[in-house]
């Protein structure tokens, strides 16, 4: 039995089809693909379908590091396809489960290759030994791939003074394919166009011949690609390729002193690509000494080949920072969690003000670079003790006039500058503040004094990562398994179940899709979802576990 | 026009009234052909002014017809006594007209769901019904009442909400889905904010994957010409068209997990559940 | 003042709106109830254009019909750079004229198929679609070689010039709206990249059905700092 066609690698574009800020539409074995190159050079091969409402991503916009869907402006990150922003809910961080289906992509011989079954290693056809590679014009054929393969010239039939093309066929559908020719020898620059034209002409003659034959044959039924299942939720406990949510190993690819007492680490993936970064997100770093520390990612949205964090030496701390400074070196491995985001960036502000104190720059740098890439107006104020305490100065320089450096101010001077930076509040202005506790308190106080409403003032205490309470805690009993678990303030039922190994499937994680519904046997749910209707709410016998909570001290669930 | 493999067998849909054509666009003593639910239909007006419709494959059996809201309606099954009512159209100073009947390569429920959606305004109807950065969809209410879906308290910032609008405004919408393939919205009239303009989309499901969308307008506007009123609505609908024609699958999946909804999609969530409860199977992918 | 007898959903009217926007020429749009009113076939409208079609351009006392003729007139009269209709370069001008005739072909196939699919015009749509695909194949190959000749950073337009001409505008909406006529552009990657380039022109305007493309370079970027 021959292997299924999905378990092979095929070209789906010439490398230059994935042009700058373009989204290339392709089709392989009846399945449509959106192929786009990010500004960091990475070529993405995705299912050509936004998982929200099924709109083709190839009509969307290549924004450089993110792909933006035409329909609702949802943004998806380069490399992972994870959702980074949902404009209808600008204050929310999209759930990690919201991730488009992606396929592996490789560039070889001037072509972009992919494989629909991502577990197959790229087996480079016995290719083009020795020479370079010069891809010819790719030609679509309205004919079955097998028929075309049979008619492609073998060996020297097609040889000429510029060599024999090696042919590759992209099976588009049952009755269509694209033929790619690659020469091993790159012609001299002045002969390039002539060589391309000659081969194009020959291939067109062949196409005319084959299409004439195809027209006499019965038309094969089109291949119908199964609707992509990646957006049907997967059990979080299973090997969830796109969902993430578990720890992973990384290697310290680079370690350098970015400012006085501050060391930056560039963390590269070992097994799996790194999960999607949203501006403002942080990770847990599990240290070899057994402790865990949280660090903000400085990466802007979509720029996530490697995570970059910064660690300040805190002599008074429990030793995490000292360990990272002194004991962890380039080439060492660390274990990190998937990113979480409690400090999400709205991208609907008319103006955004970012206020960083010292090492508090880290999440704000991620925000600043994201806003700059989006062309959204912002100012980043950096408060530091001295000029050599300024982290990532080259990246700050790259932001040009948008960065204001405040050096060596005392608390009163800092407060005065913050007051000036904020100015009077106007509609759709937002401020994000991160820094040491006293400065943060001062900034919040100043903002309040000059009339900034709470919902426009966003902050993260980097030394004291208290999460904002969603409501009070309660207890859940699982009737079938006999477990009793505490749901503390700030955690959802779903999160508690997962943390305790109860694998419940979920999808939107904002109470809209109804995937994580559980039957309630006893207790009084408070419904925060939009899925259940009025009757179901009143009945109180079902609960959407990602958002809803309990009015009673205890909920008994049918789990 | 062979669509025999698309012929509807779903009694829920067969028993509905379906719009065929704007009466104002029917010529006397003339027969036209169209598709409805995969069946070829002939319709027209007799010399004595009587409207009629028949299936081409059963030309001797007259189909029921009604002239309502400016359209000719028919049914291929056992329809209810009447088409849903639109009380506003009885107001004497209102102008009720068909803005255009446009064919689209999509399913009827996809078109309805798009009509119910506010989140796309800044992206698809840029500078008309929305504009960045005003992208937030505030919470709104959705209920099923008397077998109709109603969405209320829907607010959205709109730079140019109607043909007669001058400057941006925070518009309040009420949506009403009185029929699985028909939808309306009520929004305060720019010329008389105490009353509502009514804009409807009455969808003729030609097949499961192709529709003719009848754009219904009933507005309070003494100054704009018919051409200007139609123009605005045609622009809006034609902006939606490439979205609808780039959606996959074409038929609406009713399983809420197949396409990731968010809170802003509440009306779509309720609409999909409502279709499931109705047992509707034509032009949808039923929940598994 | 220029007056354009106009219909928002017409590709041929859009060609004029697009060029006048690119040239920053003011005009007044007079909406014609093309559909469902068939106003362009009315007695009154036939006094403006006896052929009963749009667009019609009125510039003072001068009245001109036919989309591609109007493009020629507008470019020749209102483009001081002389690029859009390059009258002082005979070879280039000949090429522009050649592709303007090609555009008659795309309009009469691809855009006619769109009228069939959207508005129910009774055309033999299979023949129209096949004709459009034949033309798109030719244009895709032409543009692909123009890209290869221009190099990775060189702009590649329909005519052999480093700038667009009226030929690009005459063809653009027929291509961009082809899917509304059931004509997929899946097989024409060079054609798709060229539609990006057209949509990135300064002062480009959309028409319903034509969607925007991302900016090629990042936007205006950070706001001026140091607000006081």
CB atoms within 10 A of CB C27: 18
Distance between C35 CA and the closest CA of chain B, angstroms: 7
Contacts of B236 in chain C (CB under 8 A): 208
Q: Which residues contact B211 (CB under 8 A, 6 or more apart)?
A: B103, B104, B106, B107, B108, B111, B203, B204, B205
Contact predicate A545/A500, CB 8 Å: no
Average pLDDT over residues A189-216: 96
- Tell me how far apart the alpha carbons of residues C228 and C218 are, in angstroms, rounded to a whole number: 26
Q: Mean pLDDT for chain B?
A: 94
Pick the closest to residue B138 from B156, B113, B126, B115 (CA basis).
B156
pLDDT of residue A324: 93
Name the band, by pLDDT with cuts 50, 70 and 90, for residue B47. Answer: confident
Report CA-CA distances (Å) from B15 to A237, B10, B70, B252, B280.
Answer: 46, 9, 21, 20, 11
Helix, strand or coil for residue B47?
Answer: coil
Chain B residue at shortest CA distance from A49: B248
Inter-chain residue contact A379 with C222, CB threshold 8 Å? yes
Q: What is the pLDDT of residue A173?
A: 96
Q: Do A55 and B133 make contact, defined as CB atoms within 8 angstroms?
A: no
Query: Chains contacting A with at least 3 CB pairs below 8 Å?
Result: B, C
| Mean pLDDT confidence for C96-102 | 98
pLDDT digits (tens, 9 = 90+) for B84-112: 999 999 999 999 999 999 999 999 999 99
Cis peptide before A251 (omega within 30 of 0): no
Chains linked to C by 3 or more Cβ pairs within 8 Å: A, B
The answer to whether A21 faces chain C, any CB pair under 8 Å, is yes
Judged against a pLDDT cut of 60, whether residue A138 lies above it is answered with yes
* Backbone φ and ψ of B266, nearest 5°: -55, -45
Residue C124 contacts A where some CB pair is shorter than 8 Å: no
- Nearest CB to A70; choose among C147, C152, C211: C211
C2, C26 Cβ separation under 8 angstroms: yes
Whole-prediction pTM value?
0.91
Task: Indicate the SS3 state at residue A267.
Answer: strand
Beta bridge partners of A171: A177
Q: Are strands B252-253 and B284-285 parallel, antiparallel or unpaired?
A: parallel
User: Residue A1 pLDDT > 70, yes or no?
Assistant: no
CB contact under 8 A, B228 and C37: no
Could you say which residues from 185 to 214 on chain C have a Cβ atom under 8 Å away from some Cβ of chain A? 185-187, 189, 192-193, 196, 211-214
Q: What is the DSSP secondary structure assignment for residue B53, as one 8-state letter?
A: E
Of chain B, the percentage scoring pLDDT greater than 70 comes to: 99
Which structural domains are found in chain C, ordered by start? 2-78 (3.40.30.10), 90-199 (1.20.1050.10)
- CATH number at B4-74: 2.20.25.680
Residue A21: pLDDT over 60: yes
Q: How far is CA C147 from the centre of its chain?
A: 20
- Do B227 and C120 make contact, defined as CB atoms within 8 angstroms? no
pLDDT at A317 over 60: yes
Judged by CB atoms closer than 8 Å, whether chains meet at C209 and B241 is answered as yes
Is B246's CB within 8 Å of A59's CB?
yes
CB pair distance less than 8 Å for C214 and A25: no
Q: Can you read off the two tokens belonging to residue A408? A: 């060596």
- Per CB-CB distance under 8 Å, the chain C contacts of A368 are 222
Query: Which residues of chain A neighbour B144 with C-beta distances below 8 Å?
Result: 533
User: DSSP E strands: which ranges in chain C?
Assistant: 2-6, 27-31, 56-59, 62-65
Q: Average pLDDT, whole number, for chain C?
A: 94
Q: Which long-range contacts (CB under 8 A, 24 or more apart) does A234-237 make?
A: A234/A505, A235/A503, A235/A505, A236/A498, A236/A503, A236/A504, A236/A505, A236/A506, A237/A501, A237/A503
C-alpha distances out from residue A466 to A11, A294, A490, A497, C114, Å: 49, 12, 9, 21, 58
E strand or H helix that includes residue A354: strand A351-357
Average confidence (pLDDT) over A241-266: 84
Cβ neighbours, 10 Å, residue B233: 21
Domain ranges of chain B: 4-74, 98-244
pLDDT band at A2 (very low <50, low <70, confident <90, very high): low
Percentage, residues of chain A above pLDDT 70 = 90
- DSSP 3-state of B142: strand
Question: pLDDT value at position A483?
Answer: 86
Whole-angstrom Cα Rg for chain A: 28
CA B117 to chain centre: 13
Which of A172-209 are b and which e, b meaning 16 or more Cβ less than 10 Å from the residue's Cβ? bbbbbbbbbbbbbbbbeeeeeeebbeebbebbeebbee
Tens of pLDDT, residue by residue over B116-162, are 999 999 999 999 999 988 999 999 999 999 999 999 999 999 998 88
Backbone angles phi, psi at A537, to 5 degrees: -65, -45
What integer pLDDT is reported at residue A241 of this predicted model? 30
How far is residue A490's CA from residue A109's CA, in Å, rounded to a whole number? 52
Q: Which residues of A touch C224 (CB under 8 A)?
A: 401
Angle (nearest 5°) at CA A373 between A369 and A374: 120
Residue A313, min C-alpha distance to chain C (Å): 31
Find the mean pLDDT for residues C121-146: 98
**In angstroms, rounded to a whole number, what is the distance separating the alpha carbons of residues A472 and A490?**
8
CA angle A350, A352, A355 (to 5 degrees): 165
Alpha carbon of A51: minimum distance to chain B alpha carbons (Å): 6
As beta bridge partners, residue B213 has B102, B203
Query: Length of chain B, please?
Result: 288
CA distance B179 to B100: 20
A87 closest CB neighbour out of B135, B257, B261: B135
- Judged by CB atoms within 8 Å, which residues 35-94 of A form the interface with C? 59, 61-64, 68, 70
Measured in residues, chain C has a length of: 228
CB contact under 8 A, B242 and C39: no
Q: pLDDT digit string (tens) for C146-192?
A: 999 998 777 899 999 999 999 999 999 999 999 999 999 999 999 99
CA distance B183 to chain C (A): 21
The counts of H helices and E strands in chain B are 5, 16
From A415, A457, A464, select the one nearest A432 (Cα to Cα). A457
Structure tokens belonging to residue B213 = 């969308």
Residue A206 has pLDDT above 60, yes or no: yes
pLDDT tens sequence across C44-74: 999 999 999 999 999 999 999 999 999 999 9
- Domains recognised in chain A with CATH numbers: 5-216 (2.102.10.10), 248-336 (2.40.30.10), 351-461 (3.40.50.80), 474-557 (3.10.20.30)
- Helix (H) / strand (E) element for C109: namely none
* Superfamily designation of domain B98-244: START domain (3.30.530.20)
Is the predicted pLDDT of residue B238 greater than 50, yes or no?
A: yes
Q: How confident is the model at residue A119 (pLDDT cuts 50, 70, 90)?
A: confident
* Bridge partners of residue C114, in order along the sequence: none
Residue A18 in tokens: 């994935």
**Nearest-angstrom CA–CA distance, A194 and A226:** 43
Mutate to test the interface with A, among C184, C209, C221 (most CBs of A within 10 A): C221
Q: Do B273 and A533 touch (CB under 8 A)?
A: yes
Provide the phi-psi class of C105: left if phi over 0, else alpha when psi is between -120 and 50, else beta: alpha
Query: Is residue B138 within 8 angstroms of chain A, CB to CB?
Result: no
**DSSP secondary structure letter of residue A153:** P
* pLDDT (mean) for C75-91: 97
Residue A240: what pLDDT? 29
Backbone angles phi and psi of A110, in degrees to 5: 75, 15
Query: ipTM of this predicted complex?
Result: 0.96
Q: What is the DSSP letter of A55?
A: B
Measure the CA–CA gap between A545 and A528, rounded to whole angstroms: 9
Shortest CA distance to A296 belongs to which of A328, A332, A259, A337?
A: A337
Distance CA B12, CA B109 (A): 14
CA C114 to chain centre: 15
Contact, A264 vs A308, CB < 8 A?
yes
Which residues of chain B does C180 touch, with a Cβ-Cβ cutoff of 8 Å? 241-242, 245
Query: CB C182 to CB B238 under 8 A?
Result: no
CB contact under 8 A, C218 and A375: yes
Per mean pLDDT, which range of B43-52, B239-248, C209-218 is the poorest? C209-218
Phi and psi dihedrals of A168, rounded to 5? -130, 140
Q: Which two structure tokens, joined as six digits, stand for B63?
A: 């189909």
Residue A130 has a pLDDT of: 56
In chain B the first and final C-alpha atoms are separated, in Å, by 32
């Amino acid at each position: 039995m021959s292997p299924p066609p999905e378990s092979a690698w095929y070209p789906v574009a010439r490398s230059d089809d994935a042009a700058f800020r373009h989204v290339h539409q392709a089709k392989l074995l009846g399945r449509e693909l959106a192929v786009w190159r990010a500004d960091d050079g990475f070529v993405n091969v995705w299912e050509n379908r936004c998982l929200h409402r099924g709109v083709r991503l190839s009509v969307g916009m290549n924004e450089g590091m993110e792909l933006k869907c035409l329909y609702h402006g949802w943004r998806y990150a380069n490399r992972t396809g994870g959702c980074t922003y949902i404009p209808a809910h600008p204050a929310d961080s999209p759930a990690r489960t919201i991730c488009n289906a992606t396929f592996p992509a490789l560039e070889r011989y001037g072509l972009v290759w992919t494989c629909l079954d991502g577990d197959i290693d790229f087996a480079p056809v016995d290719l083009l030994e020795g020479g370079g590679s010069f891809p010819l014009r790719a030609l679509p054929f309205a004919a079955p791939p097998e028929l075309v393969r049979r008619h492609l010239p073998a060996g020297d039939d097609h040889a000429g003074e510029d060599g024999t093309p090696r042919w590759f066929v992209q099976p588009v559908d049952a009755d269509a394919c694209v033929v790619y020719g690659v020469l091993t020898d790159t012609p001299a620059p002045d002969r390039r166009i002539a060589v391309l034209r000659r081969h194009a002409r020959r291939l067109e003659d062949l196409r005319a011949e084959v299409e004439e034959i195809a027209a006499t044959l019965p038309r094969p039924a089109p291949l119908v690609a199964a609707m992509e299942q990646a957006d049907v939720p997967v059990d979080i406990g299973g090997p969830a390729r796109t969902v993430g949510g578990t720890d992973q190993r990384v290697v310290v690819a680079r370690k350098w002193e970015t400012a006085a007492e501050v060391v930056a680490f560039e963390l590269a993936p070992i097994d799996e690509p790194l999960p999607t970064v949203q501006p403002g997100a942080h990770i847990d770093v599990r240290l070899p000494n057994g402790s865990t520390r949280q660090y903000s990612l400085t990466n802007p949205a979509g720029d996530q080949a490697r995570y970059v964090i910064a660690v300040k030496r805190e002599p008074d701390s429990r030793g995490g920072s000292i360990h990272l400074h002194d004991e962890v070196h380039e080439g060492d491995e660390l274990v990190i969690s998937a990113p979480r985001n409690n400090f999400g960036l709205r991208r609907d502000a008319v103006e955004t003000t970012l206020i960083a104190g010292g090492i508090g720059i880290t999440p704000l740098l991620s925000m600043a670079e994201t806003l700059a890439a989006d062309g959204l107006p912002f100012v980043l104020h950096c408060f530091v003790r001295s000029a050599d305490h300024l982290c990532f100065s080259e990246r700050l320089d790259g932001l040009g006039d948008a960065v204001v450096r405040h050096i060596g101010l005392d608390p009163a001077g800092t407060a005065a500058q913050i007051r000036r930076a904020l100015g009077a509040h106007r509609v759709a202005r937002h401020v994000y503040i991160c820094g040491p506790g006293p400065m943060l308190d001062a900034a919040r106080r100043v903002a309040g004094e000059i009339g900034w409403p709470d919902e426009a003032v966003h902050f993260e205490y980097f030394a004291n990562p208290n999460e904002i309470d969603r409501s009070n805690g309660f207890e859940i009993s699982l009737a079938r398994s006999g477990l009793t678990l505490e749901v503390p303030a700030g955690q959802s039922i779903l999160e508690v179940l997962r943390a305790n190994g109860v694998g419940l499937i979920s999808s939107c994680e904002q109470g809209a899709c109804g995937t994580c519904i559980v039957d309630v046997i006893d207790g009084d749910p408070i419904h925060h979802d939009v899925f259940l209707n009025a009757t179901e709410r009143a009945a109180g016998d079902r609960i959407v576990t990602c958002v809803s909570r309990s009015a009673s001290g205890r909920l008994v669930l049918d789990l | 026009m062979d669509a025999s493999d698309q012929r509807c067998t779903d009694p829920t849909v067969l028993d509905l009234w379906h719009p065929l054509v704007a009466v104002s666009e029917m010529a006397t003593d003339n027969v036209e052909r169209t598709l409805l639910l995969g069946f070829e239909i002939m319709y027209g007006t007799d010399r004595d002014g009587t409207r009629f419709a028949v299936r081409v494959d059963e030309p001797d059996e007259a189909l029921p017809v009604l002239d309502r809201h400016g359209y000719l309606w028919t049914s291929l099954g056992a329809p209810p006594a009447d088409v849903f009512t639109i009380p506003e159209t009885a107001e004497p100073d209102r102008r009720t007209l068909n803005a255009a009947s446009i064919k689209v390569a999509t399913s009827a429920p996809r078109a309805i769901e798009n009509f119910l959606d506010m989140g796309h305004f800044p992206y698809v109807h840029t500078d008309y019904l929305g504009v960045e950065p005003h992208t937030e969809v505030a919470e709104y209410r959705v209920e099923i009442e008397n077998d109709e879906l109603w969405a209320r308290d829907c607010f959205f910032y709109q730079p140019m909400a109607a043909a007669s609008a001058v400057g941006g405004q925070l518009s309040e919408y009420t949506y009403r889905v009185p029929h699985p393939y028909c939808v309306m919205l009520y929004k305060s009239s720019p010329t008389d904010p105490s009353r509502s303009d009514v804009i409807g989309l009455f969808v003729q499901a030609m097949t499961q994957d192709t529709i003719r969308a009848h754009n219904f307008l009933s507005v309070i506007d003494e100054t704009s010409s018919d051409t200007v009123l139609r123009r605005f609505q045609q622009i809006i609908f034609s902006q939606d068209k490439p979205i609808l024609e780039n959606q996959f699958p074409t038929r609406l999946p009713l399983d809420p997990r197949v396409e990731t909804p968010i809170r802003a999609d509440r009306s779509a969530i309720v609409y999909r559940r409502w279709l499931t409860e109705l047992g509707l199977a034509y032009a949808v992918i039923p929940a598994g | 003042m220029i007056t354009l007898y106009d219909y928002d959903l017409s590709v041929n009217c859009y060609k004029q709106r697009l060029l006048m926007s690119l040239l920053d020429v003011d005009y007044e749009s007079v909406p014609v109830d093309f559909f469902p009113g068939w106003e362009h076939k009315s007695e009154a409208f036939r006094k403006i254009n006896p052929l009963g079609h749009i667009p019609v351009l009125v510039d003072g006392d001068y009245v001109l019909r036919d989309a591609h003729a109007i493009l020629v007139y507008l470019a020749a009269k209102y483009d001081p750079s002389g690029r859009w209709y390059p009258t002082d370069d005979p070879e280039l001008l000949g090429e522009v004229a050649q592709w303007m005739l090609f555009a008659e072909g795309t309009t009469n196939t691809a855009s006619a198929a769109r009228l069939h699919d959207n508005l129910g015009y009774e055309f033999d749509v299979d023949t129209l679609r096949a004709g459009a695909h034949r033309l798109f194949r030719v244009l895709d190959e032409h543009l692909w070689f123009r890209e290869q000749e221009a190099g990775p950073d060189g702009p590649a337009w329909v005519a052999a010039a480093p700038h667009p001409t009226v030929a690009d505008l005459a063809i653009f909406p027929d291509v961009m709206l082809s899917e509304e006529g059931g004509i997929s552009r899946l097989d024409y990657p060079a054609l798709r990249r060229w539609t990006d380039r057209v949509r990135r022109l300064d002062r480009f305007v959309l028409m319903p059905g034509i969607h925007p493309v991302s900016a090629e370079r990042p936007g205006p970027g950070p706001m001026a700092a140091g607000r006081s």
